[in-house]
């Protein structure tokens, strides 16, 4: 015990402001990596690697195993090389998040803001009727990130967004009811679009079983871009919205409209952040203002 205290005192005596800065930077890097990998399959893999590493370290320290130690030493470079390959989707998603971190919405003019408000009202009205009829739907609203690669997978429409059009598109067993519709600049540009499926573990942790492919696709497009995805469950009629890899469920139409208006109304950045903090508390950790 005395040796331990002596070592700790020796370490603290050698600390200076550069050492503290060095430790802080390393801590922030590890925190950022863990934060970006949260709720993903990579976190499970990382946990397994850490458990295996601790087990091997304890085994080699308690017993003299030269052959086993040589095997681990030889295999470690290959393991380190394989980690980026295994975690390639998560690394790409993390870099995309970093690239979008400083992106600001371009200010909307009066006309474009009015058009978007009309589009939001049309979407909310359609979602209310789709929910009451339990017709499944996935509506993706493009923001600053271009969704051209996903638009090409669907059927081009370039139509005005109306409740009747959305109801017709998502009517069961019609040619366009599978897939998502993409709304860009207040226009419904394409229907029956194929969205990327989420690889995160958020849906797997849910005790409910109503989270199907539409919810996975909504989360997937929100992870791959800054788009907003509105989902109507075919089984329950429940309304959900996904943004930035997070999903908020069991919405009513009034709250849905408030969230969409918060994203697209011409308010300043601080007002928008306060509104979104109330709607998406997971995206803004800490107390509400």
Q: What is the pLDDT of residues 77-93, one digit of tens each?
A: 777 777 677 666 666 66
Q: Which of 41, 65, 100 is the last residue of a domain?
A: 100
Q: Which domain holds residue 124?
A: 110-282
Distance, CA of 51 to CA of 289 (rounded, Å): 40
Task: Report yes or no on 105 lying in a domain.
Answer: no
Residue 150 burial (C-beta neighbours within 10 Å; 0-12, 13-18, 19+): buried
Is 247 in a helix, a strand, or coil? Answer: strand
94 and 120, same domain (yes or no): no
Asked if residue 256 and residue 205 are part of one domain, the reply reads yes
Average pLDDT over residues 248-274: 74
Q: Which two tokens stand for residue 174?
A: 């019609």
- Asked whether 228 and 242 are in contact (CB, 8 A), the reply is yes
137 vs 22, residue with greater confidence: 137
Q: Establish if 288 belongs to a structural domain.
A: no
CA distance 113 to 118: 9
pLDDT band at 191 (very low <50, low <70, confident <90, very high): very high
Residue with the bigger pLDDT between 138 and 244: it is 138
- Domain presence at residue 19: yes
Q: Calculate mean pLDDT across residues 113-137.
A: 90
Query: Do strands 239-243 and 187-193 pair parallel, antiparallel, or not at all (unpaired)?
Result: unpaired
DSSP 154: S
Structure tokens at 108: 């909307």
199 burial via Cβ count (<10 Å: 0-12, 13-18, 19+): middle
User: Do 40 and 161 lie in a common domain?
Assistant: no
d(C-alpha 119, C-alpha 252), whole Å: 18
CA distance 215 to 240: 8
Q: Tell me: the pLDDT tens digits for 203-249?
A: 555 554 446 889 999 998 988 888 999 999 988 899 999 988 888 88
Torsion of CA 266, 267, 269, 270, to 10 degrees: -170
pLDDT at position 182 is 95
Q: Is the pLDDT of residue 267 over 50?
A: no
pLDDT of residue 48 exceeding 90, the answer is no
Residues 96, 157: one domain? no
Q: What domain count does the chain have?
A: 2
End-of-domain residue from the set 52, 71, 100: 100
Report long-range pairs for 234-237 (Cβ below 8 Å, ≥24 apart): 234/134, 234/135, 234/136, 235/134, 235/210, 236/134, 236/210, 237/130, 237/131, 237/132, 237/133, 237/134
Same domain, 17 and 81: yes
Region 181-198: mean pLDDT is 91
Backbone φ and ψ of 90, nearest 5°: -70, -40
């Amino acid at each position: 015990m005395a040796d331990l205290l002596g070592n700790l005192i020796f370490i603290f005596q050698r600390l200076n402001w550069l050492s503290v800065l060095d430790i802080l930077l390393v801590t922030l890097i590890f925190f950022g990596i863990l934060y970006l990998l949260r709720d993903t399959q990579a976190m499970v893999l990382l946990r397994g690697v850490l458990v295996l590493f601790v087990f091997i370290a304890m085994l080699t320290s308690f017993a003299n195993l030269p052959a086993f130690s040589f095997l681990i030493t030889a295999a470690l470079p290959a393991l380190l090389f394989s980690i980026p390959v295994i975690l390639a989707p998560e690394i790409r998603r993390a870099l995309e998040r970093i690239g979008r971190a400083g992106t600001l919405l371009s200010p909307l003019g009066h006309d474009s803001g009015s058009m978007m408000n009309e589009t939001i009202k049309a979407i909310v009205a359609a979602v209310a009727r789709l929910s009451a009829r339990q017709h499944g739907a996935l509506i993706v609203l493009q923001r600053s990130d271009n969704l051209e690669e996903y638009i090409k997978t669907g059927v081009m429409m370039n139509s005005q967004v109306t409740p009747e059009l959305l109801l017709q598109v998502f009517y069961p067993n019609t040619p366009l009811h599978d897939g998502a519709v993409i709304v860009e600049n207040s226009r419904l540009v394409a229907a029956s679009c194929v969205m990327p499926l989420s690889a995160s573990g958020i849906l797997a942790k849910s005790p409910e079983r109503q989270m199907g492919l539409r919810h996975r696709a909504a989360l997937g497009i929100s992870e791959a871009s800054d788009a907003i995805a509105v989902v109507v469950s075919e089984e329950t009629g429940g309304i959900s919205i996904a943004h930035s890899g997070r999903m908020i469920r069991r919405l009513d139409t009034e709250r849905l409209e408030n969230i969409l208006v918060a994203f697209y109304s011409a308010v300043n950045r601080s007002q928008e952040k306060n509104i979104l903090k109330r709607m998406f508390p997971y995206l803004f950790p800490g107390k509400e203002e």
